Structure 1
């Protein structure tokens, strides 16, 4: 355990322990109204004998981070409006890049700003810090408040290496191997003046200890200034803790100055030229290049990037490019997953680190050598309808914060069948699962699961920031009973809420239950990591990772949480009796494959002749939304079809050109209608549009489009066209088909026979175009050139024209009664390429019911009403017959008196404007 000496801190304050000065907190400083509101929000009742102040003091003598998490809305209502330090809290949040865009002026503007901030760790710690300072019995007006609010290492300390206890941890052989390789390259760099490379070590292997000790002995001791970059507060404090613990290895220094820089630690302005170790968030340094340029350009600066696969982001590259010249640069990247980035960015990642991996320790090696437990994934389908009751506020929260709202989580936590399944699954496997740690949704969910387990005879308890029954938490005592299985009151199952995700050492955990829905890679790694200690490290040989997977229809990215950590949890073993699953590049695997397969199955279910159309469920590319938000990685993939691409590009261009005021007043519904009103099926998800808007509001970079480059190679229509044009024989055709049966094709067609049937279907359509079932999709033109349009309208009233068409249609169809108007008809908002008109109907609807849209291009004085009538007749026939361009359809179509003249006009127009199809 690290025990620093008494050292002088900035501002002349004396640090008396690793925790800094403990503030003597009292609720007396808060107003009576604030105390009452907080007490009632925590369960106080006027029927109790004690008054609110006494009750609150007895129950919560000193608030902590989890107290603030529950009380954020109450503090916003009753304390922040009158607290004079609220503007300072907002300034700190803005400096940390937290919260909405804007610059609040008044007190109430500042309160509104805090209210709009996600209830994240940064926000909680800023509020907690303010509360502790406000309630300090000994506070002074100019006190710098330099102490860690969450029990972590100091933000800044001056250590005497000689007086620090020696770290007694013995390195494993693979860590010594890493040191040897790093030292070899460092020796080279003494001659070449360039140190560039990656250290690749899997999660749970001790990569922070490995790199920190080598850096202390070989870099700090040689007089270099170390700049350690990370993107999460937890990573910063983990690194700082290691450097404090290893301070005794800085044998060549009299004093060691270690400073943490982030939105909740020291500010960039506090950096001192004498600091030897700067542990900083990339966002803090990126915002102040004026303060760090000289430090980065110093040839004695050594840059380390934790989680280096993030370094392709613009903020990282901007800092790296300031690090001296390319011929005099020292940079080390540390990562567990060097390939977890877009294909287009991998070259950039390699170039940043000199195209060199200095040492790579595969996770399989550490599992085989039993330093890590072998993860055994168990996927339990709950079939829970977790989207029931979702509100617009829930959706807005999800888009903005990349997480489920508290109300949404509470609904999931109270799903009776889901909870019964969790308990029953444990009971059915309790002998195999052994010591089990359950990660619950919230405190009420943890208490409910614990109660159900205890009722079934299981020794279980839960740890959380508070107890529903009002009893003392005693988390430390409960963790001890879970850790020590030899004690009489040992616990077999411990249910946890935000307490044991990191920083608590419990050897021998055999199983973790993942019952809280998440798309956070960080949270997944923390939860799974609780069980990954191997037998040689005092843990287990194998660990069960039990994922409870709910039914997601609209929000498919939540469907398969274990896919977030493919390096820790390998894919399911191949079952020869089951259809093959897609094996695609890492990023492409983030596409919504469940939805893609469901869409493909729906197309294929239409019967014979639709086999090739099933492939149209595969998108043509994607956008990757990647940002750091409140210290959390956000990765969101927007799947894009070819016909949607122009609309997405127009939306992105518009969003990134908007002013701050326009961004704050925008509405996702309006933007969706404005840019995608002309989009054909499949429509983009409105949820995806909300995610892009939230990404822009979070100041994310404008995403670039990525083609699904291997799509064309296995497209049945393209394969059929090649076979037809090259006139391949049976043998050559079979060989060519087998070569094109790629992993992507296997995602849609479970067998080679199915794939061949799709190609045969496409070949038939090439030879019989009138029997084609393939839909032509419109591509909106947002800014047509003058030569791309006719004389502008509006000119034709479609409703009036359609009445005339229906009068004529009755006779053309041989009916003695007028046709009912069961359909709607409208112009597209913009010019489109792809068709002149399109009819939409649903199978099973009455004949003639549906929707007709005509291309805005034709709403012109240059187009006669007769042509418009003929086109409406053509589209109405689709609705009436519910058929494509079959021979029957063509027979009826040609009953129109002037069909030849109209066809000729439209064909000539197509040649002029390239509409392509109608």
Structure 2
């Protein structure tokens, strides 16, 4: 991945970065509106080798294969119903499918419902693929006979997670699970080009995989330094990709089976939209300006926090975790403790709570809209009148304009840019390969000792490495077993979560202690840079334990619980 190479070159230091929160606030990126859809369908995407042999020997689908396909088909019906019920709102839609078979099947179902739909995936002839993308890109595309053949819905497998130039995508359907935050960001990024760059004002992110919680990490570019999938967070070793055996079954057989299956009422849970409504201008711990995005579900908490302005001013120090617990007791996207500390510290310094900047007000002073107004209502030769109007707008909205454009001169220049020529930014992207492997079961007998005992030993034995100021975190097993992370340090709760797939008599004691030590280091250093790796290697028998996790453990780790 290009990002990894660049980070190595610059010793894990980001030289310059613009947070997504700023790009969303100024309209460079579209405002994301997330809609979470729970299908309540336990989808099984793999048919094992024995079942595949039966299918190939029989020349037809077995009952077991049909049952599995039926589960997938029920989920597909939910996906299609969601689109058809909101067709006008969703507009140009891109769908990320599970695999090639899923891509073909979904496309067939959409076309059957009368939707202008096509699909692309790796392995297709490049000329065919490029022609399909071109039809999707141009909303008024005509065939050689002059007939309308544009595409409203394009289904793909990973191809459009890269930097394809289709600026006006209005909706992204996430129908495939992924443990890669970067891949997830690339998929959502296909629809996030804002109006000022030739895109859309808003983008709908319809999530069938419950991954929206990861979004808050992207608002700050430091996530680029954090881990991806495949074992210990940050480990860049890749394992061979597991081939999806379902794809070896003739697609025509699967489509025929799905067409023969019908369902009654498709019940699925619809969650309220999650969308940002504005931001606060604050300064980070390095005294650099930043924007804290405010989501609709957070407004009540910030209002309560603002009502306690005097208490924030009088406080000797600001504790983000306590502020989070005190003012934000609901559900949904939550602010981070650091964001709350930044707001509280600015409040204490300025003796006033920062002013909320709303997207509605931003739209009122949008340079592209004002440029359109001046083209329609004012002679461009009357520059003086336009400048007078711009200064009047600036005086009425000084705080938000200074926040977004710096000063009145920069704001005026931006308006004249739109008067003279269109501008845009081509999004960049890079491909990510996901690592998957086959797993078997661990011993059913649990690990004999409480994790707290192991944590106590780690803190005592590694005191010199962790330092005197290290605070003891809480620790516990996850409720489900996963094939991705072995363990994870949760910053918001100062808590270590251990994958319960490791809760087995098969796992050596020192392996668990090594993982606990690794996660304790994350309280000190968030990324896996040179300093982190140097401290990590101080653990006794580091190489032996690391090799165990990389090469021996993956041969018998549990499957993710259903």
TM-score (norm 1): 0.25
Give the greater-gyration-radius structure (CA): 1
Q: Does 1 or 2 have the higher relative contact order (CA < 8 Å, sep 6+)?
A: 2
